[in-house]
Amino acid sequence: MKVEGNEAGQRQLKTFDLKLSDAHLSDTTLLSVAVNDAEAIQPDSSQADIRSSLLLSSELKGYIEDPDYYFKNTDHAADASLDLLMMTQGWRRYNTQMVTSSDSIDIKYPFEVSQYISGNVSGPFTNSYRQPQILIWSPKGNNTGLASFDGKISNFRIEGMDYADSTLLVVSALTRKGKGVGLELHIDKPNYPKLISQPNAYLASAFTNPEFLARERENQKWLRIRNTIYLPEVSAFGKKAVAPKWMQAASNMATKKVTAGDSRLDFPGMDLVLQSLGLQYKSTELERRQMTGLQQREVNTTELYGIYPTFNRGRDFQANPVAIYINECQYVDFDLNLISPSDVSELYYFKRGNAGLLASRMNDMYTGALYIYLKPHGDIRRNSAIARIIPLGYKTNAEFYNPEYKVKQESEQPDKRTTLFWSPKLKVDKSGNAHISFYTSDVSKKYLITLEGISKDGTIINCQTTK
């Protein structure tokens, strides 16, 4: 590898033109490149590289001293040492017939084939609960999935999914009518291979370099200073809200109310309590939102979904919804079935005409207000038919931080980076030409350039030079 670069001072733009002489390069080959400060990280022939890692270290257990020795030396002594190393680890020979055969490989872990989610659903499985469905939805992406299965078989497994690491997935169990009431959803824990930590041979020599250690201590000190915000000590105390005095005075104006000891608080669900007050959910669209477990406020300009007063014996709805307040906090598009009636201390329903001073707290879209106060032990419980999981997914590309000193500015923090540039996808053309640029640090004068990767035909490329 040949390297040509310009002269650059402190915190100035440095460019390198790389030239590789390799007949295995295709039109566009992607290689990884790293530029280190040569005084902090020095070349070490005993360090592991991509070649020794793929062909040797990955197949053996434990620490291998000087793994690159077996590849850089082609004499008989190196070959004999490699045989002894392999036999010590239990290797005797390669079964070339098995390697070249077209037989399918025995897959031990299912995620090697496809990402998946599995689990089971429990419930009464009466006629209305037959053939439940599983809905999977991602709030930050287009990942959706819907699967149905026989009610007699409660286990499910959804394959063919594709999601990045740290992706939140909302999994909902539904009846064939699209409701999750009465169902219990359980998600299986994925079976991954046991993680075995291997010694990092790449940095073994760097940790013995005093220059490297001194710079890392300096960088960590400034990192702590920059990311630390000192706040005064604060003590906060909270307790469950109870009906305030103004509500006690306004309760006489309530259209309907439910207080402690009322038999309606023994109902199995809040939907039945709402019906006794002349209220009901208006649209299945609201149920769809509740099914995903998200508090979205996507309001249609022509119709607002929510809880509405009913008339004509519950067959018709009024034009505007009812505002919902739980412990003095307003909730929008909220599933009241997440509250157990037995946890309710007091409940007041005000029609707009009877709200009095409360009407000033409502905007024109509401036709009334529903105030719910929970007991001290009461809480909004988790919907057992909904699970939120963050499974292990594929790793997305991470961009290496490269500071840009386009505008000269004074800074107390010194720039003593040991790695000045890194990229996992440097484009190299068929002739072996590539170009990189970065801003120098305050102390770098000599650079260690490492280039690694695999060509299109499988040839391992490993180059290292100092400039």
Residue 239 lies in a domain: no
Residue 315 lies in a domain: yes
Secondary structure of residue 122 in the 3-state scheme: strand
Residue 344 lies in a domain: yes
Residue 381 lies in a domain: no
Q: Which residues of 399-428 are buried (b: 16+ CB within 10 A; e: fewer)?
A: eeeeeeeeeeeeeeeebbbbebbbbeebeb
Residue 396 lies in a domain: no
388 strand-pairing partners:
170
How many angstroms separate the CA atoms of 54 and 33, rounded?
17
Say if residues 309 and 278 touch (Cβ distance below 8 Å). Answer: yes
465 strand-pairing partners:
449
Query: Of 323, 354, 374, which closes a domain?
Result: 374
Residue 353: per-residue pLDDT: 67
The arrangement of strands across the sheet holding 184-187 comes to 155-161, 115-122, 184-187
Q: What are phi and psi of 347, to 5 degrees?
A: -145, 130
DSSP, residue by residue, 406-465: SS----SS----SEEEEEEEEEEETT-EEEEEEE--SS--SEEEEEEEE-TTS-EEEEEE
How many angstroms separate the CA atoms of 274 and 314, rounded?
11
How many angstroms separate the CA atoms of 161 and 21, rounded?
42
Residue 450 lies in a domain: no
Show pLDDT as tens, one digit a residue, over the chain (467 residues): 888 888 888 888 999 998 887 656 766 778 899 999 988 887 776 677 888 888 888 878 777 888 888 887 778 888 898 888 888 888 877 777 776 776 666 777 666 777 888 888 877 655 555 667 787 877 665 555 555 554 455 788 887 777 888 888 888 887 766 666 667 888 888 777 776 665 554 455 555 678 888 888 888 888 777 777 778 888 877 665 567 777 777 777 888 889 888 888 888 778 788 888 888 765 444 444 443 343 433 433 333 346 777 765 555 556 677 888 888 888 876 777 778 888 888 899 888 766 555 655 666 677 788 889 888 776 666 667 778 888 888 887 778 888 888 777 666 778 888 899 999 888 888 888 889 999 999 888 899 999 898 888 788 888 888 88
Q: Which residues of 124-161 are buried (b: 16+ CB within 10 A; e: fewer)?
A: ebeeebeebbbbbbbeeeebebeeebebeebebebeeb
Which residue, chain included where needed, has tokens 């599995």?
118
How many angstroms separate the CA atoms of 39 and 441, rounded?
13
Residue 459 lies in a domain: no
CATH number at residue 268: 2.170.130
Residue 421: per-residue pLDDT: 93
Which residue, chain included where needed, has tokens 């509250």?
339
Query: Of 356, 374, 392, which closes a domain?
Result: 374
CA angle 247, 253, 256 (to 5 degrees): 95
Query: Of 325, 348, 374, which closes a domain?
Result: 374
The number of folded domains in the chain is 2
DSSP, residue by residue, 248-305: HHHGGG-SEEE-TT-GGGGSSSHHHHHHHTTEEE--HHHHHHHHHT-------SS---
Say if residues 405 and 11 touch (Cβ distance below 8 Å). Answer: yes
Q: Is the pTM higher than 0.85?
A: no
How many angstroms separate the CA atoms of 419 and 215, rounded?
11
Q: Classify residue 396 as exposed, middle or buried by CB count within 10 Å of its CB (0-12, 13-18, 19+).
A: exposed
Residue 64: per-residue pLDDT: 82
Q: Which domain holds residue 287?
A: 245-296+303-374
Residue 271 lies in a domain: yes
How many angstroms separate the CA atoms of 325 and 181, rounded?
23
Residue 420: per-residue pLDDT: 92
